[in-house]
Amino acid sequence: MSEQSNCNFEDISKWTLQNESIQQRQIPSNILQNISQLLTIPTTNPNSIEWAHIFLIVMGAIVRISLVVAAVILIIFLTRSTAATTFTVTTITTAMTTTMATSSNHTTCNLSFATAATYTTGSGPWGMSIADFNRDNRLDIVVANYIAGTLDIFLGLGNGTFMRRMTHASGSLSYATAVGDFNQDNQIDVVVANAGENNVAVFFGYGNGNFTSRALFSVGVYPVAVVVGDFNQDNRLDIASANHNDANVSVLLGFGNGSFGPQSTFAVGIGPFTIATGDFNQDGRLDLVTANYNSHTVSVILGYGNGLFASHTTIATSNNPYSVVVADFNQDNLLDLLVTIISVSSITVFLGRGNESFMLCSTFNLPSTSPYVSAVADFNRDNLWDIAIPYYTATIISVLAGFGNGTFGKLLLLSGANRPGIVAVGDFNDDNRTDFGVVNYGSSTLGIYLNTCT
């Protein structure tokens, strides 16, 4: 079910004028007396006096009617001006991007994608992030290979194709990646969660597609997801990891020089598999959210803005939630959650209330089993969030168009995948359409899907 927006539009026939807006204007008595004198016809004839009296009455009525008409016109003008100001739709801002609610620079198009290319990766690719690693204004891709324990860098050529730059040793069971500038040199760096070593590895970029050897920082047991943000508001990027076997989150505060302080841990539900960040209670501080596979919950932990977090709030889900993504799905300027549920092959949308609480909006059954790490983007250029979902036990990816009210439709199925685990989005061929890449665990490949929406 979904909750209807509560928009109260008053009946303007019931509006009353307040003292601070328009006050009734009284004409001073001396002015009326002067008008009366000017309109008086001097005569001693009684009949003439009677006609003069009638004339004054008529003219007085005309003056009064004119004043009333002028007042009505003024009220209508002010009312229309106020209404136009009150109900103007303005820019909607989310933690991810800024969109317009009513207008677009592009025409809405029908969803369609074409498979552009497939690239060989290391064994068992699982994590993936997108950024411009060599500063050529073209998006590149980094892939973490779970079985091989390596990191692959693919540099984009700006036409939808990529060249494999190099491979780095990352660590045992490299599970997930994130990007950011950790040493404040204006180059993009990469962090990898190594589930087999209970650490995260940071690779510092040179700005040409090359990276340093890894620097290791300890976190909890079996980290499977990682996210980047400024959690203590010092303008330096920090790292948070979801530790699957510890049922907690590790937070590493960055010093801005590539090093990090010791981890602080915060409890979440059992078996977290993904982590995301956003300001859920609108206090200007980043919060965290995890999808907890084993406890069938989502945990929201509010940040204090100093690197510490409150006790987690639990949201019950269906069995085995795997992925959680954050966006404003109903255009109310509040961040919402979209959770993929593996066991029942569905997605569930929870609408944010602007605090740590969320309400169930809708649940959608999906066309295949084991939906994994999804991604949101505006694929059909209608300024509403859509979603791409990979299915680990299948060979397909689905794209669902958002309606802007927390619900989805217009399902598009794409073939060619092989046990896909994660989708990441970006414009790979500079055509102002959002494309996506997918890592195929079954074939150890990276697949590129170009948006052909027309």
pLDDT at 1 > cutoff 80 = no
Residue 165 confidence (pLDDT): 80
Task: For 202-223, write each residue's pLDDT tens digit.
Answer: 999 999 999 999 999 999 999 9
Radius of gyration of the chain measured on its C-alpha atoms: 32
Task: For 300-349, write each residue's pLDDT tens digit.
Answer: 999 999 999 999 999 999 889 999 999 999 999 999 999 999 999 999 99
Residue 225 confidence (pLDDT): 98
Q: What is the mean pLDDT of residues 15-24?
A: 31
Q: What is the mean pLDDT of residues 404-416?
A: 93
pLDDT at 161 > cutoff 90 = yes
Residue 407 confidence (pLDDT): 95
pLDDT at 411 > cutoff 60 = yes
**What φ, ψ does residue 95 adopt, rounded to 5°?**
-70, -15
Contacts within 8 Å (CB) and 24+ apart, 375-379: 375/325, 375/422, 375/423, 375/424, 375/425, 375/436, 376/96, 376/325, 376/327, 376/338, 376/425, 377/425, 377/434, 377/436, 378/99, 378/434, 379/111, 379/433, 379/434, 379/451, 379/453
The chain-wide mean pLDDT, for the chain, equals: 83
355 or 219, greater pLDDT = 219
User: What's the rounded Cα separation, in Å, for the pair 97 and 333?
Assistant: 11
Q: What is the mean pLDDT of residues 121-148?
A: 98
User: Are the C-beta atoms of 375 and 423 separated by less than 8 Å?
Assistant: yes
| Bridge pairing between strands 346-352 and 358-365 | antiparallel
| Lowest pLDDT segment from 11-15, 117-121, 159-163 | 11-15
Q: What is the mean pLDDT of residues 177-187?
A: 98
pLDDT at 143 > cutoff 80 = yes
CA-to-CA separations, 401 to 8, 112, 151, 178, 407, in angstroms, rounded: 29, 11, 32, 26, 9
Task: For 222-253, write each residue's pLDDT tens digit.
Answer: 999 999 999 999 999 999 999 999 999 999 99
Tell me which H or E stretch contains 64. helix 46-86
Residue 270 confidence (pLDDT): 98
